Structure 1
Amino acid sequence: MGPSPRAIAEHASFQAFLHCYLREVDGGCWADNIDRVPSGGEDELRLETREASLAIEVRYRSLAGRHCVGRIWSWSSIHRHWQRLEPFRAIDLLVHELYARAVAMMPELRKSRELELRYRIIDSHRVMARYVETRRHDPRLMSDRFIDSEQSLLFGHVAHPTPKSRQGLADWQHPRYAPELAGGFPLHLFSVHQELVEQDSVAQGEATALEEALLKGALPELPAGHLPVPAHPLQAQWLLAQPAVNDAISRGEIRSLGELGPRFTATSSVRTLYNEDAAWMLKFSIPIRVTNSLRVNKAHELRAGLAMARLIERTGFTRTEPHFRFIQDPAYLTVRLPGLRESGFEAILRENPFPRGRDAGVISLAALTQEPLDGRSSRLQILIEGLAINEGRSLAAVSRDWFRHYLNCAIAPALRLYDTHGIALEAHQQNGLLDVAAGYPACFYYRDNQGYYLSQERRNALETLCPELTSSPELFYRDAMIRERFCYYLVINQLFSVIARFGQDGLLAESELLGMLRESLVRWQQHLRGLARPLLSQLLHDDCLPYKGNLLTRVHDVDELEAELEMAVYTFIANPIKVRQDVAIPESRHALA
């Protein structure tokens, strides 16, 4: 019969939390055997504020840091013996330890943040269990259709303490709006006087005209001088409760038309909507806090999407890199209301390269490397085993070739883009899609107009190439900061997840994959002479690499999308690419002040 959905979610929640804790707070003490603990290999964590310890069974120890864990035991000075512990009790003890160490935080603030984190952990676990229970036997979980793979992420971010936290989404709303439950709904339409509508586009046609085409004749006749403005139904509920919107309604400037038109469904981001017969996806603001942040479109992001579409085209990069593609956001529309920078109507039109008939075989790295349900194989393992059978070759030989294809279409071009043009990408697992329709990676797709970092050093050249960038100064960053973020998103978050998945599935040893990566970095270093060269040197020679601390970001209750420079809390981890593995991580970067 197998474990219950609750038990599956509890284990996945603990593994995600522990992944964060080991990387960001305390790596523990590794031992082949801890006295009186009946297991072969463990990591022991000291709970200093309780005079206690946790021992965690490690079923697979990953060089890339993505371990697979099993049973848990606790020891205390009171009981003076090891006893089995449930995963959620272990999380509870670690959360207490986190905040007990945060001595520089005011007591009331510390307690408030601790309660908030505990709530989000519980909410994430409860939501995850619901998704597992509903979808665990659904064959679409392993479908290679774009939208099916987008909606298959039952466990979420593998290195986040609250991977499925959905604050603001009521229980009854999940079946309709959560991508994991594959629901569908029409858009909510507003009729807005044209003087209030702001729109721009670098696509063929104005944003409102493109949006009208999505409605497929469902749009009723509008009052003279009015234009249609779509909204996510959840956002429409929020909008209709806002005083500024109600004032405009009372003046006849805005009318709510209700839900109209064809069925849309959520992609993995929750707020980007897809219809297989539409030329565009739609990215909305929603009043939901997903993992860390309230998901809203900012006014500057609307302009940045257009500027980046123009910039990428003018660099000629996609013409020289046929295996690397951008899913652009080339049009937007919103409503201007008095005294508001963002009204809540901000909507982005995103290209849809995966309509009906062209939607097979394109899968996000997050879906490709996701931990499988008990007794099943990961998507990557199924892919490699199928290729090995078809080609009559060993799993190891196919794995080596697959990994080389992946490096050449996903990693090398991203480094060349930064090296040549000073454009770095927030290319984490969810933002990166691979075309594996033929088995081997053939093309990489990057999405997210919020995930561009432009080099301050190249600012004059980039603004000369694309003068529209002068209205988006927030896109430019110092190169030291770019290297920090690029290293985390491209290498640690994305690339290391692929390496760990190969190792966990027994396809190819992580040590060999890291060796292949090291050889590629050395080879690329011979040709990359610009901005990427210091990053390659860092990856090859530095003892530690920068790491985004999702747990510490939560401990300090930072909303990245609202923070200055969208800064999360960063720390350091030992660099597994460098041959030497036994590097101590600086204690100062783990402080919980």
Structure 2
Amino acid sequence: EDPAYITLGTKELGFEVMVRSNPFQGEHGNRTTLLASLCQDHVFGKASQIENIINHIVSNENSTNEDISKRWFKRYLDVSFHPMMWLYTQKGIALEAHQQNSVIKLDENGYPSMFYYRDNQGYYFMKSKEQELRKLLPSLNGESDTVCDDAVAEERFRYYVLFNHILGLVNAFGAAGLVQESDLLLILRQEIEMYTEKDHTGLVSSMLEEKVLPCKANFLTRVHDMDELVGSLETQSVYVNVENPLYESAGVRV
């Protein structure tokens, strides 16, 4: 929940800050971190948080950075990517799970054990699943504008979960020199292939077979003075085509 806010003055000036409740306090917060913090560069140029975690596991298990990185990444997909893909393919719910909305809890050995998605706005409910979802929640979309065309949910899920979230994590491993990014991309591709027969949209086929994919352009969105909290879901941000690394580095053409 967001129980409070703080700002300057009485008009909207861009200084608005929401204060969010933090359930990860005391022992419940042990070994729990925001994914963005896990991946970001160290402010003073030292090792990133993910690099420190992998190095710690390597020393304990007497293994290599490459082997531990691939094992860690696979476990991360198990607790985060697969549940989100289940929601998408089975229930028609696409989550806006970028790295700032993703919290990961590690076990005592340093491996991912629990994934938390946090956001009170970032949900997309597919039109094709609307009636099925209303059986579970009759008030669906009653006070929001969250039911959208399947194609919109597909586009947003692909950007937030694939580009921002998972590929951002792959980049963090690569930037730290822990493992070849292509090795992690191959693992990711194999995990995505599990949903080929389960996806009723074009999400899976696009991630595996398309050379270029639409990706949100945050800077261009601001240049065009577009507010993502205002307007329809279809026109709230700018998307541009970028090369698909799953096609170039781990799939159709290597």
- Corresponding residue for residue 221 of structure 2: 553
Tell me, in whole angstroms, the C-alpha distance in 2 between the residues paired with 1:433 and 1:231.
21
- Corresponding residue for residue 48 of structure 2: 378
Equivalent AA in structure 1 for residue 119 of structure 2: D
* 2:247 alignment partner, SS class: coil
Q: TM-score, normalised by structure 2?
A: 0.89
Q: Is the 8 A contact 2:163 2:215 kept in 1?
A: yes
Equivalent AA in structure 2 for residue 535 of structure 1: L
Structure 1 pair 486–563 and aligned structure 2 pair: CA distance change class (3 A)? same
- Deviations, residues 171-195 of structure 1 (Å, cap 9, x unaligned): xxxxxxxxxxxxxxxxxxxxxxxxx
Equivalent AA in structure 2 for residue 542 of structure 1: E
1:571 paired with 2:240, answer yes
Q: TM-score, normalised by structure 1?
A: 0.40
Task: Report which stretch shifted further, 468-477 or 385-394.
Answer: 468-477
- Corresponding residue for residue 368 of structure 1: 38
Give the number of the structure with larger relative contact order, counting CA–CA contacts within 8 Å between residues 6 or more apart.
2
Deviation of 1:349 after TM superposition, in Å, equals 7.9
Greater Cα radius of gyration, structure 1 or 2: 1
| Equivalent residue for 2:150, pick from 479, 488, 499 | 479
Deviation of 1:561 after TM superposition, in Å, equals 1.2
Structure 1 pair 372–483 and aligned structure 2 pair: CA distance change class (3 A)? same
Tell me, in whole angstroms, the C-alpha distance in 2 between the residues paired with 1:580 and 1:432.
26
Structure 1 pair 563–353 and aligned structure 2 pair: CA distance change class (3 A)? same
The Cα RMSD (Å) is: 2.6
1:287-306 counterparts in 2 under 5 A? Answer: 287=12, 289=14
| Equivalent residue for 2:185, pick from 509, 514, 538 | 514
- Corresponding residue for residue 489 of structure 1: 160
1:397 paired with 2:63, answer no
Deviation of 1:567 after TM superposition, in Å, equals 1.1
- Corresponding residue for residue 409 of structure 1: 79
Structure 1 pair 372–417 and aligned structure 2 pair: CA distance change class (3 A)? same
1:359 paired with 2:29, answer yes
* 2:241 alignment partner, SS class: strand
* Bigger strand share: 1
| Equivalent residue for 2:99, pick from 425, 429, 433 | 429
Deviation of 1:374 after TM superposition, in Å, equals 4.0
- Corresponding residue for residue 210 of structure 2: 542
Structure 1 pair 524–577 and aligned structure 2 pair: CA distance change class (3 A)? same
* 2:178 alignment partner, SS class: coil
Deviation of 1:355 after TM superposition, in Å, equals 2.5
- Deviations, residues 365-416 of structure 1 (Å, cap 9, x unaligned): 1100001234410000000000000111111111111000011111111011
Equivalent AA in structure 2 for residue 289 of structure 1: G
Consecutive unaligned residues of structure 1, counting only runs of 5 or more, are 1-206, 208-229, 243-286, 297-347, 582-593
* Bigger helix share: 2
Identity %: 36
Consecutive unaligned residues of structure 2, counting only runs of 5 or more, are none
| Equivalent residue for 2:123, pick from 452, 466, 474 | 452
Tell me, in whole angstroms, the C-alpha distance in 2 between the residues paired with 1:490 and 1:411.
8
1:12-51 counterparts in 2 under 5 A? Answer: none
Equivalent AA in structure 2 for residue 522 of structure 1: E
